[in-house]
Structure 1
Amino acid sequence: MPRFDGKVGFVTGGGTGIGFACARAIVEGGGRVILAGRREGVLHDAAEKLGPSASFVPCDVQDDASVGRAFSWVTHRFGRLDLAVNAAGTGTVGSVLNGPVGEFVRVVDTNLTGVYRVMQQEARLMAAAGGGSIVNISSIAGTHTHRWMTAYCVSKAALDMLTRCAADDLGEFGIRVNAVAPGLVPTDLASGLLANDETVAEYLRRMPLNRLGTTDDIAAAVAFLLSDEASWITGVTLADDGGHHLRQGPDLLHQFRPLFAAENPSARGDA
């Protein structure tokens, strides 16, 4: 297991799912971790589960002021930052024909601009501490189209490039920046997909290893990239998806099209 003794980590989306699993890996490796997110009750309960090495701070990645307050607290409480995992994310359903512009903006603001907001603050603290490691949570949707998940796919594709640019910008400060791109993993965000048996079967037939991932699968890859064991790796997006990246993105219209059934055929994207 990678060791994080004496290190401080910050995890957005840390109260549940992949973010929580990554925070647990930091604690189990001997580090201290700050869970960040919008729901204080969820963060409190997650920190309690992780024990005295975990704390939490409210942080809405869509809000500059909220992010600023969170990092002021981190600076005051810990005075440094060594590790960061940017796992906060959201999604929506819609094609180029029927997806509301506001939904596109919301998803991109969370999954891309939100990462930029917090990563800038993370990098400033890490540079002052002499270096660090950042891992962004991307997706198989960043490289493979998922029909009617346009906003999500675009946000994750852009996040992969942001990861590469940040790695190039921050290397001189001893800061490494990488990403992990999961396939389908049971999380709150993916619950709608997992509830549909046909959708799960569609994902599985795209995976050579033919099983769903787990949050621990993703956390293990993240922990490696955070650790000194990966000290010469930066600017990489690691596919952690059962081999899904070797094949095609899923066709999920069987699940999504009924959501727009009340609209005319052209609005549904059937034309």
Structure 2
Amino acid sequence: MIALQDRFAGRVAVVTGAASGIGLAITRRLLAEGARVVGLDLKGAPDLGADFIGLDGDVTTEAAAETLVGTAVEKFGAVDAAFNVAGGSRPGYIVDLAESDWDFTVDLCLKGVFLGMKHQARRMMRQGRGAIVNIASLNAHVPMHAGSAYVAAKAGVEMLSRNGALEFAPFGIRVNAILPGLVQTPLTRRHFDNPDALAAFEARIPQGRPAQPEEIAAPSLYLASDDASYVNGASLLVDGAWAVSGYPDMRPFRGPIGWNQRTSE
């Protein structure tokens, strides 16, 4: 039996959003389990040792997706597992949201995953094997005030993952999605810096707390490992049972709907 810390020994993985939060936790866990990793992040990636290569790049560009895969093949010889993690949002109510903010969120959360999958799967098809894990969100299923672009993009990631599973399964490639709830990362700091907002979230999470990035990394690696060899096209909620109780009303923390529209007319 392969020890847990050796599950990815001899394997090569690529990770987007590798510099912080969930992406960094996944990268560190992969390295601990024996993988060689190439990470991509707009802000650059930290120095994590000889088995890690960090690249600067924008996941919303095809060139970055090509470079990520190309570097993994050139330096390490393969792409066995891919984790599309990079994401973010610019919130706003539908009637207030600027077109540029919609484009930013949808491009980062959905287009970036599409471009990553496109080039990751091309390489994996040549190998006849591979596993892709995409980070979606609980919000793929649950709407939130002022979150239209984000929820639409994350719902798209979930369905894109299922479509990838359908298309790539004959080539020995599995595609699955992780749907996290609230995770304590640099991108969610605004919630944690606001005690009232954090309390509103925690009141609706049955486990009573947000997740740590490492708690998302562990199931993500499971889906990419041989332990999940017959798991394909699945969406795994990792949310502390939050989906059971429902989302809090965030209007007190976002302001009234239509405010921007009224003040601009």
The alignment's TM-score, normalised by the length of structure 1, stands at 0.91
Q: Trace 1:55-134 onto structure 2 (pairs within 5 A).
A: 55-134=53-132
2:22 to 18, 24, 28: 18
1:35 to 21, 24, 39: 39
Deviates more, 1:229-238 or 1:195-204: 195-204
- Moved segments of 4+, more than 4 Å: 258-263
1:54 to 49, 52, 55: 52
1:70: how far off?
3.1
Cα 1:209–1:26 change in 2 (3 A) is: same
Kept in 1: contact 2:144–2:247 (CA 8 A): yes
Kept in 2: contact 1:80–1:128 (CA 8 A): no
1:258: how far off?
7.3
> How far, CA to CA, are the matches of 2:152 and 2:50 in structure 1?
38
- Aligned to 1:110, what secondary structure does the other structure show? helix
Cα 1:187–1:132 change in 2 (3 A) is: same
> How far, CA to CA, are the matches of 1:20 and 1:240 in structure 2?
17
1:248: how far off?
1.3
- Aligned to 1:35, what secondary structure does the other structure show? strand
1:247: how far off?
1.9
Output the amino acid matched with 2:130.
G
Backbone CA RMSD of aligned residues? 1.9
- Aligned to 1:205, what secondary structure does the other structure show? helix
Residue 6, structure 1, aligned to residue 10, structure 2 = yes
> How far, CA to CA, are the matches of 2:104 and 2:124 in structure 1?
28
2:187 to 162, 186, 189: 189
Cα 1:39–1:265 change in 2 (3 A) is: closer
> How far, CA to CA, are the matches of 1:75 and 1:4 in structure 2?
16
1:51: how far off?
2.0
Q: Percent identity?
A: 33
Output the amino acid matched with 2:33.
G
Count of aligned residue pairs for this structure pair:
261
> How far, CA to CA, are the matches of 2:35 and 2:257 in structure 1?
44
> How far, CA to CA, are the matches of 1:211 and 1:120 in structure 2?
36
> How far, CA to CA, are the matches of 1:190 and 1:259 in structure 2?
22
Output the amino acid matched with 1:140.
L
Kept in 2: contact 1:19–1:88 (CA 8 A): yes
Cα 1:259–1:216 change in 2 (3 A) is: farther
Residue ranges of structure 1 left out of the alignment (5+ in a row): none
1:113: how far off?
1.0
Residue 202, structure 1, aligned to residue 206, structure 2 = no
> How far, CA to CA, are the matches of 1:101 and 1:132 in structure 2?
36
> How far, CA to CA, are the matches of 1:209 and 1:132 in structure 2?
34
Paired position in structure 2 for 1:177: 175
1:78: how far off?
2.3
> How far, CA to CA, are the matches of 2:220 and 2:260 in structure 1?
42
Paired position in structure 2 for 1:219: 217
1:266: how far off?
9.8
Output the amino acid matched with 1:248.
G
1:195: how far off?
1.2
1:142-192 Cα distance to aligned partner (Å, 9 max, x none): 110111011101100111100100011110111111111111111121111
Kept in 1: contact 2:133–2:224 (CA 8 A): yes
> How far, CA to CA, are the matches of 1:233 and 1:150 in structure 2?
30
Kept in 1: contact 2:14–2:69 (CA 8 A): no
Paired position in structure 2 for 1:166: 164
Kept in 2: contact 1:139–1:180 (CA 8 A): yes
Kept in 2: contact 1:12–1:36 (CA 8 A): yes
Paired position in structure 2 for 1:140: 138
- Aligned to 1:36, what secondary structure does the other structure show? strand
Kept in 2: contact 1:132–1:174 (CA 8 A): yes
